[in-house]
Amino acid sequence: MTAVVPTPAAEKPVEPPPKERRPRRNLTPWILLLPGLLWLVVFFLVPILTSVSASVQQGDYDDGFKLTWHWANYVDAVTKFGPQYLHSGLYSLLCTVLCLLLGYPVAYFIAFKGGRWKSLLMALVIVPSFTSFLIRTIAWKTILADNSPLVRLLGDLHVLKLTTALGWTVGDHVLASPAAVVCGMVYNFLPFTILPLYTSLEKIDPRLHEAGHDLYCNTFTTWRRITLPLSMPGVIGGTLLTFIPAVGDYINAQLLGNPNTGVVGQKIEDLFLRNTQGYPVGSAISVVMMVGTLVLVMSYIRKAGTEDLI
Amino acid sequence: MSSNDVLGRTEGGDLRLVGLTKRYGSFTAVDDLNLTVPQGSFFALLGASGCGKTTTLRMVSGLEEPTVGQIFLGDEDVTDRKPYRRPVNTVFQNYALFPHLDIYENVAFGLRRRGVRDVRKPVEEMLDLVELGHVAKRKPHQLSGGQQQRIALARALINQPQVLLLDEPLGALDLKLRRQMQIELKRIQLEVGLTFVHVTHDQEEAMTMADTIAVMNAGRIEQMGSPAQLYENPRTTFVANFLGQSNLIPGTVEGVTGGTATISAHGQRLTLDAARCPVSSGLVILGVRPEKVQIATCDAEVPSGHNKLTGGVVLDTSFIGVSTQYLVKLPSGEELSVFEQNTGRPIQRPGAEVTVFWDPGQGFGLEGGQDIEAGADVEEDAA
Ligand SMILES: Nc1ncnc2c1ncn2[C@@H]1O[C@H](COP(=O)(O)OP(=O)(O)OP(=O)(O)O)[C@@H](O)[C@H]1O
Ligand SMILES: [Mg+2]
């Protein structure tokens, strides 16, 4: 017969605490990422590195360029092209603001009043992009030509006197002026503002508007307190998608501007293609633009993230 | 003299709907509604899904324009007033909390819009009232369904509206929390003394909470009254079936003598309080609630003066603890349900031959010729 002897507590084997389950590893996302990563390395990373390296080289097309860590290229890049930086910044900023002011009501209307026409209306916004960017910009030459109905109307209304006084148009002409450049840019980039705005507005439950009305908001305060904050992701996305390509754009300035509307892109093209020694400084300007835009965009996103913008 | 404040709040503000009608194209969602909700009362709109309850509330809050009719708050016609100018707030069927604001700001929203400076005290009090002070800093999506519902209630209630509209505010809660919130809501209503218009399709909820119930069916009010009135004296088969269960037996009035109506149904003679019989001759439907019917073996003695139906056979017996529910098939082919309190009487097994009987004073009469099934299955779908 055996008596049951209780094991003394001290001798009891100490059980290890139950192990926390480690999250399972999954390789699929990485494999799916691979083609994209490769693409980025070849067509994004390599060109950037080439640009950065070119920006500190010296030489000309005939003797070839050598890496001499010639940082003075950056001094040239930053100091010699003031007007171009100013124009690029001003035009793209103005374009972004105008796109937002024009695009928000359009996106709002389609999202909340479009009903069953929503998809059709959005298609209408995008359809012009099916034509080439270049052709559309050239078409604006006709729209803004001196004898076009629009320009004649603006002249008759004495609007051109005002804009010329402000330096946005030249005499009785709209074509070949800063105003024409901004018009072309706004036209070309508007869909990039509208699309993200529409997407975020469309997601807002219209019943939230009703709750707003129920809680003493008129139509404007409902927009200000409910719709606008909820559409901020669209505002940020739309303005970024517009500003980033706009700041680098030079087609509009080239086709619709005049010699006094030069933007950075035109200068870079000039240095690359029409100046035998321009390659390094052109690269330096590119790098400056990239870093500058990046810093601007990052600080904008940060501000937006903390809801300082609304 | 009635004193108006910023929102046009008036004193003595009964809510009155006059000839209120809403049509969507050729479809009439709300049909010529006339009712008065006295100030400070708890009013329930009860009806099956799609009968026009939400539409009615939306017209009162101003979110929907009536096709015809008027809405009065006190003496004032508010039919054409914008929703944000009405002293009315809504607890929405889907809560509609603002996802970009935290709970505190959601609750403070109405006060801020009206320019109230110091919102801290009222907001904290309101959050305490719904027992959710600890979630003030969370966003709505971080709350459970029941918590969101309570915040929706707090957000509306904090404005002390003249009329609070509640559109199935307890729909998403489980039974226990629902009962708890029903008691809570009733307590709050008594405490703040506001007029509550509560929409529900849960008849039990309406009965436990409301002073007055209006039963709606297909855009019209079938009947209105206190819960007991509706339960004891339904006027239509729809109300009789929708509010609890009823046994409805079609028959013919033979005659009325000395306050008692005599009715013949399936060759048996039944009686009914003449005051509760709407017709003095011709077709009638005699109704009696299952818990008022008693069951006995066929040879048992039935108290004199009771209505008695003999020759029934028990089809189904379900014992549910506090009571036993029987389904009895009568010789006429009709099925009668009987709820018997569990007082220790012997249980009748299926197949047993039984007699059912009840006190004539407990029956009610309905106009003949109505659809006996009206409202019976609707409730099953909705619940
Ligand atoms: N905008 C509209 N257009 C057309 N018909 C509508 C519209 N809104 C509601 N209806 C119809 O009006 C009727 C009443 O709708 P309502 O929302 O008032 O029902 P309800 O009683 O609140 O139902 P539930 O209990 O399901 O919430 C329904 O048949 C519905 O289909
Ligand atoms: Mg509803």
Name the one residue in this structure whose structure tokens are 């869909």: A191
B65 has a chain A CB within 8 A of its CB: no
Calculate how close chain A gets to B97, using CA atoms only, in Å: 7
List the single residue in B7, B61, B97 with the smallest CB-CB distance to A214: B61
**Which residues lie across from B71 on neighbouring strands?**
B17
Contacts of B262 (CB under 8 A, 6+ apart): B253, B254, B255, B256, B269, B270, B271
Indicate whether this complex's ipTM tops 0.85: no
> Does pLDDT of B85 surpass 70?
yes
Q: Please state the domain extents for chain B.
A: 15-232, 246-382
User: Among the atoms of ligand 1, which is closest to the Cα of residue B201?
Assistant: 25
Contacts of B61 (CB under 8 A, 6+ apart): A214, B83, B86, B88, B89, B90, B165
Q: What pLDDT sits at residue A286?
A: 94
CA distance A108 to A110: 6
Q: Where residue A304 falls among pLDDT bands split at 50, 70, 90?
A: confident
Total domain count for chain A? Answer: 1
List the single residue in A205, A214, A217 with the smallest CB-CB distance to B89: A214
Calculate how close chain A gets to B95, using CA atoms only, in Å: 9
For the segment A149-169, the average pLDDT, to the nearest whole number, is 91
Do the domains B15-232 and B246-382 sit in the same CATH topology, yes or no? no
> Does pLDDT of B2 surpass 50?
no
Record the pTM: 0.81
Q: Mean of the per-residue pLDDT values for chain A? A: 90
pLDDT in tens, B114-125: 999 999 999 999
B52 lines ligand 1 (CB under 6 A): yes
Q: What is the CATH number of the domain that holds A259?
A: 1.10.3720.10
Q: What pLDDT sits at residue A24?
A: 76
CA distance A136 to B98: 42
Dihedral angle computed from the Cα positions of residues B303, B307, B312 and B317, in that order, rounded to the nearest 10 degrees:
-80
CA distance A103 to A101: 6
Q: What is the CATH number of domain B246-382?
A: 2.40.50.140
pLDDT in tens, A215-235: 999 999 999 999 999 999 999
Share of chain A above pLDDT 90, in %: 75
> Looking at the domain assignment, is residue A51 inside a domain?
no
A217 has a chain B CB within 8 A of its CB: yes
> Looking at the domain assignment, is residue A42 inside a domain?
no
Q: What pLDDT sits at residue B380?
A: 45
List the single residue in A205, A213, A230 with the smallest CB-CB distance to B63: A213
Domain interval for residue A157: 72-309
pLDDT in tens, B282-322: 899 999 999 999 998 888 888 888 888 888 999 999 998 89
Q: What is the CATH number of domain B15-232?
A: 3.40.50.300
For the segment A19-33, the average pLDDT, to the nearest whole number, is 84
> Strand, helix or coil at A298?
helix
A225 has a chain B CB within 8 A of its CB: yes
Q: Where residue B344 falls among pLDDT bands split at 50, 70, 90?
A: confident
pLDDT in tens, B137-196: 999 999 988 889 889 999 999 998 999 999 998 877 778 888 888 888 888 888 888 899
B51 lines ligand 1 (CB under 6 A): yes
Q: What pLDDT sits at residue B274?
A: 87
Contact A226 B83 (CB under 8 A): no
For the segment A10-19, the average pLDDT, to the nearest whole number, is 68
> Looking at the domain assignment, is residue A89 inside a domain?
yes
Contact A211 B113 (CB under 8 A): no
Calculate how close chain B gets to A219, using CA atoms only, in Å: 9
CB atoms under 10 Å from CB of A205, counted, come to 12
Scored b (16 or more CB within 10 A) or e, B347-360 reads ebeeebebbbbbeb
Dihedral angle computed from the Cα positions of residues A5, A9, A13 and A17, in that order, rounded to the nearest 10 degrees:
140
> Looking at the domain assignment, is residue A143 inside a domain?
yes
Q: Where residue A6 falls among pLDDT bands split at 50, 70, 90?
A: low
Residue type, B265: A
pLDDT in tens, B187-200: 888 888 889 999 98
pLDDT in tens, B92-135: 988 999 999 999 999 999 999 999 999 999 999 999 988 899 99
Q: What pLDDT sits at residue B10?
A: 47
**Which residues lie across from B197 on neighbouring strands?**
B43, B165
Q: Where residue B281 falls among pLDDT bands split at 50, 70, 90?
A: confident
Least distant ligand from the CA of B49: 1
